[in-house]
């Protein structure tokens, strides 16, 4: 209670000082002061509105740019159930989302969503690891999806909405379809979420120079009589110039500096926006080419293993040699799905073929092979061209 009483007295004192100051100033200066405050706040509000629209446009472009890295054929192999956890396509997509999250750390959630026959929106996969408190296994329904989200999902439209509230917090979210390069139809939706607190913080940060400039103008206008008297008392030759010209000079310098800064920022943003548009257009062409190139060859390699009881290294090299001649892929490989329970048996079997020092490895921070850490499922590469990769 003492704290609130002291706080109330403090606010009362501040309000009293403001009222006393307001009574002491002339009507003309009070009018200029009020116009400056109102004008500055209105302009700051317009700046925040402009920045909000620009951030929404940027979020849409970034979402489309990130979505270009998601191969649609990998999503088609998922079922949207817990069985996906053991699928290599799921692990590949998980790795892609993790990499995208590292490149765009401002986005907390990156996910792929689908729709069941009954119209329920569900998550195929999210970027978070199982030890995260916000982790969701595949197949969990997105109960907070509104009608606008569902309609955009069915039409395959790009959508941005927010702020929206769900069980994880308050977010600004964008979604865009993942298109199958063969059928040119959407197979799922890729979405990103950015925390509303970060969004609003960016808006305030953008408007802060305007608010600071407005505060400086208010201080200059409020103290203009004292400033003029002090300037004339210290510089006698200036006494022959009547009027509040020091105040007008300071006012003009601050306004000019702010307008120059704002123009520079706007020009920089327009250049960045144009470059981003160009980069997205160019990268889309390259990405679609890379995703479509080799799809038939990969299916042929998979059928080759499916139709063979055992494939030797010589047979694998002979088959892949022809693929390398007409495909952009530099490395071709084949591996097995090994659970942690079968790891010891698999390594014993491979030691008979490859030597006693064989074990499942993974790269460390410097890219050197080390024994793989314990996990539920392993995907050891057994055959590879070039063969040096398989030797690692």
Q: What is the pLDDT of residues 75-133, one digit of tens each?
A: 888 888 888 888 888 888 888 888 888 888 888 889 898 888 887 888 888 888 778 88
Are the C-beta atoms of 330 and 340 separated by less than 8 Å?
no
Residue range 50-79: mean pLDDT, rounded: 85
pLDDT at position 16, please?
57
pLDDT at position 78, please?
84
pLDDT at position 298, please?
67
Place of tokens 């700051």: 44
pLDDT digits (tens, 9 = 90+) for 165-196: 888 888 898 888 887 767 777 888 898 999 88
- CA distances, 259 to each of 34, 45, 269 (Å): 21, 16, 15
Are the C-beta atoms of 350 and 335 separated by less than 8 Å?
no
Give the separation between CA 266 and CA 51, rounded to whole angstroms.
Answer: 10
Residue 58 has pLDDT above 50, yes or no: yes
Residue 389 has pLDDT above 80, yes or no: no
pLDDT at position 95, please?
85
- The band of 313, judged by pLDDT with boundaries at 50, 70 and 90, is confident
Are the C-beta atoms of 129 and 112 separated by less than 8 Å?
no
Domain boundaries, the chain: 25-292, 295-391
pLDDT at position 392, please?
42
Residue 222 has pLDDT above 50, yes or no: yes
Instruction: Tell me the fold of 25-292.
Output: Beta-Lactamase (3.30.450)
- The band of 391, judged by pLDDT with boundaries at 50, 70 and 90, is very low
Bridge partners, 161 (sequence order) = 173
- The band of 22, judged by pLDDT with boundaries at 50, 70 and 90, is low
Mean pLDDT of the chain: 77
pLDDT at position 72, please?
79
Give the separation between CA 102 and CA 142, rounded to whole angstroms.
Answer: 25
Are the C-beta atoms of 359 and 328 separated by less than 8 Å?
no
Residue range 369-388: mean pLDDT, rounded: 78
380: how many CB neighbours lie within 10 A of its CB? 19
pLDDT at position 3, please?
44
| 326 compared with 49, residue with greater pLDDT | 49
pLDDT at position 1, please?
47
Residue range 243-256: mean pLDDT, rounded: 73
Give the separation between CA 35 and CA 31, rounded to whole angstroms.
Answer: 6
Residue range 24-48: mean pLDDT, rounded: 80
Q: Of 138-152, 286-300, 307-321, where does mean pLDDT reach its minimum?
A: 286-300
Give the separation between CA 220 and CA 236, rounded to whole angstroms.
Answer: 22
Q: Give the strand pairing for 159-166 and 169-179.
A: antiparallel
Residue range 152-169: mean pLDDT, rounded: 81
pLDDT digits (tens, 9 = 90+) for 355-377: 777 888 888 877 788 888 888 88
Residue 10 has pLDDT above 80, yes or no: no
């Amino acid at each position: 209670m003492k704290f609130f009483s002291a706080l109330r007295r403090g606010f009362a004192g501040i309000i009293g000082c403001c009222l006393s100051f307001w009574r002491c100033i002339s009507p003309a200066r009070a009018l200029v002061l009020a116009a400056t405050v109102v004008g500055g706040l209105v302009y700051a509000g317009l700046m925040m509105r402009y920045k909000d629209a620009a951030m929404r446009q940027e979020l849409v472009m970034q979402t489309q740019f990130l979505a270009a890295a998601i191969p649609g054929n990998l999503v088609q192999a998922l079922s949207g159930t817990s069985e996906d956890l053991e699928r290599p396509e799921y692990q590949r997509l998980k790795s892609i989302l993790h990499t995208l999250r590292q490149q765009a750390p401002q986005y907390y959630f990156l996910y792929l969503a689908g729709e069941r026959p009954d119209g329920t929106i569900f998550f195929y996969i999210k970027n978070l690891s199982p030890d995260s408190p916000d982790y969701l296994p595949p197949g969990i329904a997105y109960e907070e999806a509104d009608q606008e989200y569902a309609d955009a999902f069915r039409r395959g439209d790009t959508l941005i909405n927010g702020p929206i509230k769900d069980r994880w917090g308050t977010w600004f979210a964008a979604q865009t379809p993942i298109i199958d390069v063969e059928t040119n139809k959407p197979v799922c939706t890729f979405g990103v979420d950015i925390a509303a607190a970060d969004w609003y913080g960016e808006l305030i940060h953008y408007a802060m120079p305007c608010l600071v400039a407005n505060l400086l103008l208010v201080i200059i206008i409020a103290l203009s009589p004292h400033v003029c008297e002090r300037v004339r008392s210290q510089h006698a030759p200036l006494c022959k110039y009547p009027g509040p010209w020091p105040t007008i000079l300071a006012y003009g310098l601050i306004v000019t500096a702010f307008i120059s800064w704002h123009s520079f920022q706007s020009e920089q943003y327009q250049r960045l926006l144009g470059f981003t548009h160009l980069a997205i257009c160019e990268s889309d062409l390259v990405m679609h080419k890379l995703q479509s190139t080799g799809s038939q060859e990969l299916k042929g390699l998979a059928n080759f293993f499916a139709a063979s009881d055992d494939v030797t290294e010589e047979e694998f090299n002979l088959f892949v040699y022809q693929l390398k001649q007409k495909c952009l892929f530099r490395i071709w490989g084949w591996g097995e799905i090994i659970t942690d329970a079968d790891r010891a048996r698999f390594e014993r079997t491979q030691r008979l073929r490859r030597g006693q020092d064989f074990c499942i490895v993974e790269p460390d921070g410097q890219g050197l092979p080390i024994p793989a850490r314990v996990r539920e499922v392993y995907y050891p590469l057994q055959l590879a061209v070039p063969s040096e990769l398989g030797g690692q």
